[in-house]
Structure 1
């Protein structure tokens, strides 16, 4: 079984911007936001993906992601009540890859950094642009942002 182990942080500064090596626009919607599981559809650039995630167990959860034709992903996004719009920026810090999501639309103003880890207790270098950790705050889950966007907090 595939396990995602992820920590999420707010940003303390824009110092990460000079280190971006790739950025991609993402449209992301949820076909299911049940607390026990989420089913997400995503258009990442020209590529489509369907992702099923299990219930969070701390910072870990089951994750299954499959490529789907972009036209199918677009059709599935049309079934989603709310679609997130964000730009994902990739930043490498030493041997780790940070994904920094800059949200648009109703979530504009929200920027979060995520890091996927090989184990729950893995250590990593904290860049100076990293702010408070929000891994355990459900308001920052993308599925929650699709239902209650940042502008309504």
Structure 2
């Protein structure tokens, strides 16, 4: 089974901004508590992703590339507003970080994610990393679609 072990943090500094960004648009075909089904257009690529329930920072994740035209059609079928963000990928002390700068109803929110091999894998925290929000469901992208950051 494919799994994702991911920790999520707020971003407080700007040193990450040297990394180029890729525009993302994503929506949810299903946001059930036991599973989410997401469609995403990331630059010139598109993906369909199914995620299971989080247990700690771990959950099942299955991701499949799909044609961009299919993804655009699926985005029109999504439940709730779409998530728009720009993703910046950079490496700090050997660890790959994804920094998402949200737009639209989630403007002002900047979150960094790191995927790990195990929940207890050590990593060096970048100076621009703020509070950990891994277990705060408000920061799940699936929740941001229906409960946007600007309306908290």
Output the TM-score relative to the length of structure 2.
0.97
Task: Tell me how far 1:95 sits from its aligned partner.
Answer: 1.4
Matched, 1:99 2:98: yes
Matched, 1:16 2:16: yes
How many matched pairs? 151
Write the mapping of 1:130-149 to structure 2, written as runs, cut at 5 A.
Answer: 130-149=129-148
Deviations 1:60-112 (A, max 9, x none): 00000000000000000011121100000011112111000000000000000
Q: CA RMSD for the aligned pairs? A: 0.7
Task: Tell me how far 1:135 sits from its aligned partner.
Answer: 0.3
Output the TM-score relative to the length of structure 1.
0.97
Task: Tell me how far 1:4 sits from its aligned partner.
Answer: 0.1
Write the mapping of 1:47-62 to structure 2, written as runs, cut at 5 A.
Answer: 47-62=45-60
**Alignment match, 1:2:** 2
Moved over 3 A (4+): none
Structure 2: which 5+ residue stretches go unaligned? Answer: none
CA distance in 1, matches of 2:11, 2:40: 24
Q: Indicate which of 12, 32, 44 corresponds to 2:30.
A: 32
**Alignment match, 1:66:** 64
